[in-house]
């Protein structure tokens, strides 16, 4: 065996194919490792950013005191804990009164993020102290050191709250806030029988411990339901929220970031797979003559196959050593770059975590992808008669197809392992395969027709099916780079649309009907943009088509167990989208239903719903279903009725409006003028979400740039391989007397023509992949006409320039010397 291994190794070392194959493997291992590790760190960091919005990784809330068993469970999982109690009360001085949101905290609050105070205090709140939000200080007209009354308790103002965490649980959390010590709750004497209280247990810890707590919490709840027949949440409103669930406006952006990260992994694997496919194909072609010679000298098929297996293992080992070093360096460099560009991001680098996590997956992926693409080619050589191999036969079509099938299958399997997302991987790779087959067939037919026409351009078409494969591979590589740039733009537009300039930062509810005209006049006088004011009437959904909902459905759907905010309007909110039914109301007694709620409750257009209101039963016919943008900062409702269906004087009004920063003092006057109305400042949470959005935007930009750079390297490698196949032709043409100018023009036209076709095909790929990703991210699918102008032209120019100048040195080499070098390779 060693007698064959040494000459094959020496032969391989003389050929460029071996080095290009090692480079492709190194690229696959290093880039995949760095991206996989960085993606995990980014996900953890972004989740931590989201956790700062609720001061913890997990928040367990209840309307009654948190049971000791949940605290014991958190202790068993080594989670840090903090107890917070929230209730409403009246705060006042001798002359000013205001309804406030009282937050009683312990010494451990907050567990995530920072409580920013003025003056800056590096200690917990003490008994007898109160910290006030800026709005409370303005409304009460107090300053530091003054005394205020909260219900029956007297407190000294010792700090102003500049920034508060734990604001994730609905609009009530944004009411004017005061903060006291947990032990001072009894001093206020504000909690009485029937008081509405929110008890919270904040928890923070390692990711694994957090996940274990969530798992055990769900298991214990399920056990409670099986024993009693009632879900724990049905009894007392017990709810567990993690960082992303704490604020629903963050769920979709973070989910989109996760999808983008997984897509970057898939595209990276595909880019590296293209490089491995082309380099392995070239490596086999460069060694086929030598294999034929060994066959003629008596070497058996199994011997040659074993020797090449050892040789591939040798190359893979070298690639692993280099790829490990580059992967660690690249991963570290990527995290450092993100830390420099995004100071708010908290990232941690661990070489050991990289070595035991992403790196083995990257190595295994590269090894299997290499085997998938190279094994069919080797198998063909083993079973080809020596005399036919010596005659320089071309690769047969069936082996070419087997190579594509086995290589694609290996890419698909390990893309799933890498992303752990079967639906996304199946959609992306399945769509790429389908389009690749279609476009490959079209390109092959075009090239075959050109070759038969015997035109001038026919000279540039050598073997149609191989040239079609090269064009398709180039196009796919180019499109994979393009699609990330396209998706990045789509994501930015979506996120910016979600939080445009002038997004409402004030929310008003409880506005009495008799104050509505005057309130509208005040908004117009100040020039503050606002949403419509909607009547808000409480009611319960109790029946559909005169039939009560089943007990099982009531248990499973919270919307059937509580009172709902009902409203009526002549038009639907602008960000609501009709998905079924008529667009407008035509009669009294009609209702529009939010689509997801309708699906959960089995409600369809034409059904007749019954609601229980304080003044009696209300019946309405469903005329349409609509999608609701719950992430917006505008009022939204599950049920909207046609005008004159509800008694608007039976409830109050709510709405939202935008107040510029310079008009804040005038807002205080408005609040004092309408003292019976609750004004909620959502500006703080809006600023936090914008800050997190900026982090996501910068992360997406860096990742798109990194993958694009890796893709450009792959494209250059692919172009070099394509031109490498023209070396023999250049040498032969030079030996027959062709001029250097003619050869340069030939290479320019041939490679430029392939680049133009590749650019056109790449546009199809880019549109398909971006459409699939947009669908998975709930983004609107749209065409990107600009790439149809940019890609083909740029790719033609790039390929033509490389074809003209990259191999121009061959024209200066004597033909005999060039042919001898190729015969030795």
Of 681, 706, 735, which residue is a domain's last? Answer: 681
Residue 621 has a pLDDT of: 94
Query: Is the per-residue pLDDT at 377 higher than 60?
Result: yes
Residue 144 has a pLDDT of: 92
pLDDT band of residue 335 (cuts 50, 70, 90) is confident
Which residues, in sequence order, are CB contacts of 685 under 8 Å at separation 6+?
53, 167, 174, 247
- Residue 639, φ and ψ in degrees, nearest 5: -130, 125
Residue 55 has a pLDDT of: 81
User: pLDDT tens digits, residue range 282-334?
Assistant: 677 667 767 777 777 777 777 777 887 788 888 888 888 888 888 778 777 77
Longest dimension (CA), the chain: 109
Residues 524 and 424 placed together within one structural domain of the fold: no
Of 613, 648, 681, which residue is a domain's last? Answer: 681
pTM as predicted:
0.61
Query: Is the per-residue pLDDT at 234 higher than 50?
Result: no
* pLDDT, average across residues 758-777: 79
The candidate with the shortest Cα–Cα distance to 428, out of 770, 672, 706, 142, is 770
Residue 387 has a pLDDT of: 60
Residues 566 and 710 placed together within one structural domain of the fold: no
Residue 146 has a pLDDT of: 93
Residues 751 and 656 placed together within one structural domain of the fold: no
Which is more confident, 802 or 329? 329
- Residue 223 lies inside a defined structural domain of this protein: no
The domain total for the chain is 3
Q: Which two tokens stand for residue 200?
A: 């919270």
- Residue 214 lies inside a defined structural domain of this protein: no
CA distance 182 to 128: 11
Strands 652-657 and 534-544: antiparallel
Mean pLDDT of the chain: 77
CA distance 552 to 543: 14
Residues 630 and 709 placed together within one structural domain of the fold: no
Residue 229 has a pLDDT of: 44
Residues 174 and 299 placed together within one structural domain of the fold: no
Query: Is the per-residue pLDDT at 232 higher than 50?
Result: no
- Residue 269 lies inside a defined structural domain of this protein: yes
- Reported as half-sphere exposure (CB side, CA atoms, 13 A), residue 634 has a value of 19
Least confident of 243-257, 459-473, 500-514, 673-687: 243-257
The candidate with the shortest Cα–Cα distance to 540, out of 432, 663, 638, is 638
Residues 670 and 734 placed together within one structural domain of the fold: no
* pLDDT, average across residues 216-223: 82
Residues 154 and 258 placed together within one structural domain of the fold: no
Query: Is the per-residue pLDDT at 156 higher than 80?
Result: yes
* pLDDT, average across residues 204-209: 86
Residue 603 has a pLDDT of: 92
- Residue 218 lies inside a defined structural domain of this protein: no
pLDDT band of residue 125 (cuts 50, 70, 90) is very high
- Residue 231 lies inside a defined structural domain of this protein: no
- Residue 211 lies inside a defined structural domain of this protein: no
pLDDT band of residue 430 (cuts 50, 70, 90) is confident
CA distance 434 to 431: 5
Q: How far apart are the first and last CA of the chain?
A: 22
User: pLDDT tens digits, residue range 382-406?
Assistant: 665 666 555 555 555 566 666 667 7
Residues 164 and 24 placed together within one structural domain of the fold: no
Residue 221 has a pLDDT of: 79
Residues 160 and 96 placed together within one structural domain of the fold: yes
CA distance 124 to 117: 11
Q: Which range has the top average pLDDT, 44-53, 215-224, 627-636? A: 215-224
Residue 233 has a pLDDT of: 44
Residues 696 and 670 placed together within one structural domain of the fold: no
Residues 39 and 64 placed together within one structural domain of the fold: no
Of 661, 681, 701, which residue is a domain's last? Answer: 681
- Residue 424 lies inside a defined structural domain of this protein: yes
Residue 147 has a pLDDT of: 93
What is the extent of the structural domain holding 152?
55-72+81-205+237-242
Q: State how far the alpha carbon of 183 is from the alpha carbons of 47, 60, 83, 105, 126, in Å.
A: 32, 20, 11, 9, 9
Query: Is the per-residue pLDDT at 710 higher than 70?
Result: no
- Residue 442 lies inside a defined structural domain of this protein: yes
Which is more confident, 578 or 233? 578
Residues 473 and 570 placed together within one structural domain of the fold: no
Least confident of 21-30, 218-227, 430-439, 604-613: 218-227
């Amino acid at each position: 065996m060693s007698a064959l291994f040494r000459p094959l190794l020496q032969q391989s070392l003389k050929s460029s194919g071996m080095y290009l194959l090692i480079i492709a493997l190194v690229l696959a291992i290093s880039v995949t490792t760095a991206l996989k590790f960085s993606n995990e760190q980014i996900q953890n960091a972004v989740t931590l950013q989201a956790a700062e919005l609720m001061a913890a990784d997990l928040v367990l809330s209840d309307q009654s005191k948190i049971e000791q068993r949940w605290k014991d469970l958190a202790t068993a999982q080594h989670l840090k804990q903090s107890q917070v109690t929230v209730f409403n009360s009246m705060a006042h001085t001798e002359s000013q009164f205001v309804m406030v949101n009282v937050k009683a905290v312990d010494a451990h609050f907050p567990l995530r993020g920072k409580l920013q105070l003025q003056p800056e205090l590096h200690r917990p709140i003490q008994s007898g102290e109160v910290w006030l939000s800026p709005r409370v200080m303005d409304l009460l007209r107090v300053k530091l050191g003054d005394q205020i009354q909260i219900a029956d308790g007297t407190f000294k103002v010792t700090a102003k709250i500049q920034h508060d965490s734990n604001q994730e649980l609905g609009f009530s959390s944004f009411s004017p806030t005061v903060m006291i010590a947990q032990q001072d709750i009894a001093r206020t004497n504000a909690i009485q029988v029937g008081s509405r209280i929110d008890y919270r247990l904040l928890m923070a810890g390692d990711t694994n411990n957090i996940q274990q707590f969530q798992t055990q919490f769900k298991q214990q709840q399920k056990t409670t339901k099986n024993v009693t027949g009632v879900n724990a949440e049905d009894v007392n409103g017990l709810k567990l929220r993690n960082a992303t669930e704490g604020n629903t406006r963050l769920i979709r952006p973070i989910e989109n970031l996760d999808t983008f990260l997984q897509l970057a992994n898939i595209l990276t694997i595909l880019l590296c797979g293209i490089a491995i496919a082309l380099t392995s194909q070239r490596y086999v072609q460069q060694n086929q003559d030598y294999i034929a010679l060994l066959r003629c000298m008596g070497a058996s098929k199994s011997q040659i196959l074993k020797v090449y297996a050892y040789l591939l293992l040798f190359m893979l080992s070298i690639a692993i050593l280099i790829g490990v070093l580059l992967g660690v360096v690249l991963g570290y460099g990527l995290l450092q770059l993100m830390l420099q560009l995004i100071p708010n991001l908290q990232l941690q680098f661990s070489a050991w975590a990289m070595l035991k996590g992403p790196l083995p997956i990257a190595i295994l992926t590269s090894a299997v992808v290499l085997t998938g693409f190279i094994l069919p080619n080797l198998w063909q050589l083993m079973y080809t008669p020596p005399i036919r191999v010596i005659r320089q036969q071309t690769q047969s079509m069936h082996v070419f197809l087997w190579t594509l099938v086995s290589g694609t299958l290996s890419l698909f399997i390990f893309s799933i392992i890498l992303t752990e997302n079967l639906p996304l991987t199946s959609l992306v790779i399945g769509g790429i395969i389908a389009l690749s087959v279609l476009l490959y067939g079209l390109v092959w037919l075009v090239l075959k027709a050109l070759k038969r026409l015997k035109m001038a351009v026919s000279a540039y078409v050598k073997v149609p099916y191989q040239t079609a494969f090269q064009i398709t591979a180039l196009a796919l590589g180019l499109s994979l780079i393009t699609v990330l740039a396209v998706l990045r733009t789509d994501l930015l537009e979506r996120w910016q649309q979600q939080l445009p300039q002038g997004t409402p930062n004030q929310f008003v509810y409880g506005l009495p009907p008799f104050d509505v005209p005057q309130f509208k006049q005040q908004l117009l006088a100040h020039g503050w943009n606002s949403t419509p004011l909607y009547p808000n009437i409480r009611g319960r959904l109790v029946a559909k088509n005169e039939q009560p909902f089943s007990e099982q459905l009531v248990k499973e759907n919270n919307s059937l167990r509580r009172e709902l905010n009902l409203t009526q309007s002549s038009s639907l909110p602008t960000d609501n989208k009709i998905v079924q039914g008529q667009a407008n109301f035509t009669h009294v007694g009609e209702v529009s239903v939010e689509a997801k709620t309708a699906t959960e409750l089995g409600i369809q257009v034409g059904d007749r719903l019954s609601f229980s209101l304080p003044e009696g039963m209300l019946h309405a016919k469903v005329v349409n279903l609509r999608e609701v943008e719950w992430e917006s900062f505008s009022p939204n409702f599950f049920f909207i009725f046609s005008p004159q269906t509800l008694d608007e004087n039976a409830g109050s009004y709510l709405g939202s409006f935008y107040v510029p920063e310079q008009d804040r003092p005038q807002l205080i006057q408005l609040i004092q003028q309408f003292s019976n109305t609750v004004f909620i400042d959502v500006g703080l949470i809006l600023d936090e979400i914008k800050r997190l959005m900026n982090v996501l935007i910068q992360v997406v930009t860096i990742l798109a740039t990194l993958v694009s750079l890796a893709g450009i390297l792959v494209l250059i490698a692919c172009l070099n391989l394509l031109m490498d196949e023209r070396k023999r032709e250049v040498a032969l043409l030079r030996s027959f007397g062709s001029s250097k100018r003619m050869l340069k023009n030939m290479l320019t036209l041939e490679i430029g023509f392939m680049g133009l076709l590749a650019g056109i095909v790449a546009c199809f790929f880019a549109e398909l992949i971006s459409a699939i990703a947009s669908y998975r991210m709930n983004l609107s699918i749209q065409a990107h006409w600009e790439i149809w102008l940019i890609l083909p032209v740029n790719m033609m120019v790039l390929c033509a320039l490389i074809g003209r100048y990259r191999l121009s040195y061959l024209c200066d080499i004597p033909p005999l010397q060039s042919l001898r070098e190729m015969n030795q390779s």
